[in-house]
Structure 1
């Protein structure tokens, strides 16, 4: 007896004991256990179920392939959009650099123009101050001359009132004659 025979013998004894005790056992009677019915049912399921199962699996495979293609297309679109966005970022950075450079040049030009205008304003203020100073100096000198002339006239009047000494009169007359004779 081989291993199978030993196994069947043990199973039969265990069933007999199990049936006698009301416990668990193995029923090896093919007709009673419906093994034939189960084999036919499994065969029918395998024969017809294989077509249904293969159809389901083929459909599932097609759905997965379609989903993969769509995902790849979305990936390509995303990569294209990403590369376009990168190009736009590079272009925007270049434009920002141009704007920054133009702003710096404009700021330098405005600074130079402001400094030139300030220099002109300072020069004009210097000229105005010098002109005002000259005008004020001339006015002060004119006023001083007037005062000196007024004081000289007062002195002459006071001397004339007090009388001129003879020697001073003679000197004035001689000087006047010399000036008239010299001209």
Structure 2
């Protein structure tokens, strides 16, 4: 222990502030460089590897995204073609249905008009027959009245007998 005391006693303390600070700073930087060099090198290497790996992952995701985008674009164009075909088929079907409905409507109207004409003709014939019967009845009644006034009972009996015999024959 005496040797340590003698060593410290023999070492003289430099009181020049400028020289001691520069030496202290150089020593501090040297110690920091030696101690921190390994730590910084490891951290920077790990950081570099993470960045490179992140870039590679991003490039992989970009390639996958481009593939999916191109596939979606292709499907979109296929869907567009399918939609156009469906629209054309729908227009054709619509025109066919409209034509069919038009033809059915025309046929239905034709049948209804034909039925209406037949009904009207039947009514016309019935009315004509009714009018003819009424006119015949009235004409026959007037003839009978005139005959009754102009003919006597004997002549009327003779005409009736003659008509009865004609009916019997």
**Aligned 1:96-135 pairs, distance under 5 A:** 96-135=83-122
TM-score (norm 2): 0.71
Point out where structure 1 has 5 or more consecutive residues left out of the alignment: 1-25, 165-183
For the pair 1:139 / 2:126, whether they are aligned, the reply is yes
- In 1, the alpha carbon distance for the partners of 2:111 and 2:84 equals 40
Match of 1:84 among 71, 74, 79: 71
Q: Distance in 2 between matches of 1:153 and 1:147?
A: 10
Instruction: Between 92-101 and 131-140, report the one with greater CA deviation.
Output: 92-101
For normalisation by structure 1, the TM-score amounts to 0.67
After superposition, the C-alpha distances for 1:123-151 in whole angstroms (9 at most, x for unaligned) are: 10111011011101110111111112101
In structure 1, distance between residues paired with 2:17 and 2:149? 178
Count of matched residue pairs: 136
Unpaired segments ≥5 residues, structure 2 = 1-15, 152-169
Stretch of structure 1 that moved more, 123-132 or 47-56: 47-56
Structure with bigger RCO (C-alpha 8 Å, 6+ apart): 1
Moved more, 79-88 or 150-159: 79-88
Among 31, 41, 57, which residue is 1:44 paired with?
A: 31
Deviations along 1:152-180, one digit per CA (max 9) or x if unpaired, are 2112111211125xxxxxxxxxxxxxxxx
